[in-house]
Amino acid sequence: MPEGDSIFRAARGLERALAGRTVSRFDSVFPRLTNPLEDTPLVGRVIERVEARGKHLLIWFSGGIVLRTHMRMHGSWHIYRPGERWQRPHHDMRIVIETPDIHAVAFNVPIAEFETAESLERAEPIRNLGPDPLQDGFDARVVIDRLRDRPDLEIADALLDQRAIAGIGNIYKSETLFASRVSPFTLVMQLTDEQLATTVATAARLLRVNVAETSRGMSTYGGTRRTTGRLDPGARFWVYGRGGKPCRRCGTRIERAKQGQHARSTYWCPRCQPAVTSASRLDPDRG
């Protein structure tokens, strides 16, 4: 699933390509997007800006109309010149925004809604978002307080709660906890203030490194993300996706387990991240 850094980079690319341009054509396979435009068409409106909020991508049009999309597992936005061949099949198209010299196409985006500036702030997915480490004014203290409000959650699940901190997904969850030397199965109530502060700071740092100007990219996820700082494409992550392989720090076998209500995969090093909960909390899936 695309995470906060991917959406941020996609929004930045769309902003640079589209901001200030006038819509010449809009099309979508979603009737919920095309039907309202019979009375308030987008054609002729100016694209004012594009921004990311957590895992949501917002395209602002003149007249106070906002297109909110969420990528879920497989969605992505692409940019093309008129006449340029799409890199995805036409049946994957969900939204097309055309200007005279730039076309933006959303593929396999499952969630797309029109909002106004007023309704956007009332929309539950936006209203309930926690602080976003990639936004100006990010307040780690608010995140810590919101995590503390979830004392009975294992920290890996708590980090995935977008109401506590926006933008973290499965990759950053595992990588953050490894870098912080915290077992993913530790309950929030069992973490010291220092451990929790370190975890939040580490998550923010890893996200920010991956949206630096040297990390360009347009598609939602193009394989440029890395947390180790290594240039080797085969050494991008510390633990994520490395179940059964040796830890890059200590050589211990990296473990993988399904965790939480939604059985999301978690990767960790038992030696670098010593467990503080019983084995009954784990649901090993070490294929």
Return all residues near 31 (Cβ < 8 A) that are at least 6 apart. Answer: none
Q: What is the C-alpha separation between 129 and 51, in angstroms, rounded? A: 15
Q: Choose, from 3, 154, 175, 255, the residue flagged as catalytic.
A: 3
Active site annotation includes 284: no
Q: Choose, from 15, 55, 98, 115, the residue flagged as catalytic.
A: 55
Q: What is the C-alpha separation between 126 and 120, in angstroms, rounded? A: 7
β-pair partners for 187: 154
Active site annotation includes 2: yes
Three-class secondary structure assignment of the chain: CCCHHHHHHHHHHHHHHHCCCECCEEEECCHHHHCHHHCCCCCCCEEEEEEEECCEEEEEECCCEEEEEECCCCCEEEEECCCCCCCCCHHHEEEEEECCCCEEEEECCCEEEEEEHHHHHHCHHHHCCCCCCCCCCCCHHHHHHHHHCCCCCEHHHHHHCCCCCCCCCHHHHHHHHHHCCCCCCCEHHHCCHHHHHHHHHHHHHHHHHCCCCCCCCCCCCCCCCCCCCCCCHHHCCCCCCCCCCECCCCCCECEEEEECCCCEEEEECCCCCCCCCCHHHCEECCC
| CA nearest to 110, candidates 162, 58, 66, 75 | 75
Active site annotation includes 175: no
Residues with a known catalytic role = 2-3, 55
